[in-house]
Amino acid sequence: MSVKRLLVITIFSVTFAIFAPTSLRLAVAAGPVHKMHTANMKWWKAARFGMFIHWGLYSVPAGVWHGKRVPGYGEWIKNNAHIPNREYNALAKKFDPVDFNAEQWVKIAREAGMKYIVITSKHHEGFCMFNTKATHFNIVQDTPWHKDPLAMLSAACRAQGIKFCTYYSIMDWHSRDQLPAHASATHPTYNPTHFAPGRAVAYLHYMERQIHELITQYHTHLIWFDGGWMHGWNKPLARDLYHYIRSIDPTVILNNRIGFGYGDYATPEQHIPPRGIPGPWETCMTINTTWGYVSWNHKWKSSALLIHHLIECASGGGNFLLNVGPTAKGIIPQPEVKRLLAIGKWLKVNGQAIYGSHRTPFDGKLSYGYATQKPGRLFIEVTKWPRSHTLVVPMRNTITKAYLLADGKKLKTAKGPDGQSVYLPSAAPDPVATVIVLKIADPVRPLR
């Protein structure tokens, strides 16, 4: 890198650190996506459903520090409990996930109907969950376990037909290249960090080295960036990182949290945009109310609600990335497994309406549920069984055949002033969501 280019990046970094707002997390997540290039989006668009895994040193305290519960997300405990580096780093000696089983984790994802896995290779805490040569602060060298879970998961994913993907945080609370928001020997606040003077490019090279490892050693299909709201992260740095990744493997998919318009898809968090948003997108969501494992958090979403969320994402043309937070011993909590398997059971019957589907053709909300479509077929996912036992589909198309996806039972239809009527059984065959298939000859022509 030339001296001139280094100077430009440094000036950008300092300017951004002074004037940037305190948190850009939501803005980054919803930011525009301009750069598509050659990423292999075909499999991702067809997948519709993936597993997010938040696993790191934070699973050791599990939401408790010095005997007290720490509010907030489990993976943020270092920041939220104001833990000094030396104390937090000591957690590595207690991290011994002897019950970890890569094949079992991937099997759970596969039985849940998930098509890809995204695991934290490095969260904001800075601890690396893979065998990196860029730092000793990693699970292989700095824990008593001395094993590489990402290598095992990558191999298990290949064996079971699941796409292996990785999360990577731009913000790093451990790196000497980034300084905490409020430095203190006993009570630091890390978020948002800012670059140490003159260290922006050094940190960029650190990231490039690790991302090179993730792509070449672990064959990640996608990199899920986060933490781009740190002060000093700017467009020249994002551009350089983006093009560096493309130079290694142009087919790797990147989310938009690399920032500044770079990336292949948008990432709304913990909510689903009504009827979706333009372009590729993916909602990430927790099963309870935390990403990293918290021993006392039992606020579980129901299986029915999670199935409805999956349907709503597909109806809006998006993916659903559902999180699990394994324990320090390497176990996915049973309440999470139970809900995942319930979703998988529903998908075994109704997956045709989700995988490879396209967004709803209707601008307005359907009172009885959602719609997805494929050429020649319109799927109606009925989540609220109408008292009239009749669906009125607001389209001009003539229905050539209507039937229940679960058992193929034919349904009667009729044309009316408000669209096509479909006559249903008196009770919903599936109390969570019953899928009706409507065969049509032409693309859907909405009535309104």
Mean pLDDT score, 326-335: 98
| Closest to 76 in 3D by CA, of 56, 91, 90, 96 | 56
pLDDT over 90, % of the chain: 90
User: By the 8 A CB rule, do 262 and 24 touch?
Assistant: no
Q: Smallest Cα–Cα separation from 143: which of 60, 220, 61, 50?
A: 60
Q: Distance (Å, rounded) from C-alpha 57 to C-alpha 228?
A: 21
DSSP H or E stretch at residue 438: strand 434-440
Q: Quick check: is 360 in a domain?
A: no
What's the structural domain count of the chain? 2
- Asked, for residue 51, whether it belongs to a domain, the answer is yes
Q: Is 344 in the same domain as 401?
A: no
Q: Residue 372: pLDDT above 80?
A: yes
In this structure, the answer to whether residues 20 and 114 fall within a common structural domain is: yes
Looking at the fold, whether 297 and 412 belong to one and the same domain comes out as no
What does 120-160 look like in DSSP terms, one character per residue? EEE-TT--BSS--SS-S-BTTTSSSS---HHHHHHHHHHHH
Q: Is residue 362 part of a domain?
A: no
Q: How many CB atoms lie within 10 A of CB 401?
A: 12
- 382 and 345 assigned to the same domain: no
Residues 395 and 328 grouped into a single domain:
no
CB atoms within 10 A of CB 419: 17
CA 165/CA 363 separation, integer angstroms: 33
- Using pLDDT thresholds of 50, 70 and 90, give the confidence band for residue 17: very low
Q: In a 3-state reduction of DSSP, which class is residue 2?
A: coil
446, part of any domain: no
Domain encompassing residue 421: 369-440
Over residues 32-66, the pLDDT tens digits come to 444 445 688 999 999 999 999 999 999 999 999 99
Say whether both 108 and 140 belong to one domain.
yes
Q: How confident is the model at residue 6 (pLDDT cuts 50, 70, 90)?
A: very low
pLDDT, tens digit (0-9, with 9 covering 90-100), for 378-413: 999 999 999 999 999 999 999 999 999 999 999 999
Residue 12 has pLDDT above 50, yes or no: no
pLDDT above 60 for 19: no
Do 331 and 421 fall into the same domain? no
The reported pTM is: 0.92
Question: With 80 as the cut, is the pLDDT of residue 10 above it?
Answer: no
Q: Over the chain, what is the mean pLDDT?
A: 93
- Per the DSSP assignment, residues forming a β-bridge with 79 are none
Domain match, 150 and 71 both: yes
Residues 420-426: contacts with CB within 8 Å, 24+ apart? 420/392, 420/393, 420/395, 421/390, 421/391, 421/392, 421/393, 422/380, 422/390, 422/391, 422/392, 422/393, 423/389, 423/390, 424/382, 424/385, 424/386, 424/389, 424/390, 424/391, 425/389, 426/389
Cβ(432)–Cβ(383) under 8 Å?
yes
- The enclosing domain of 420 has a CATH number of 2.60.40.1180
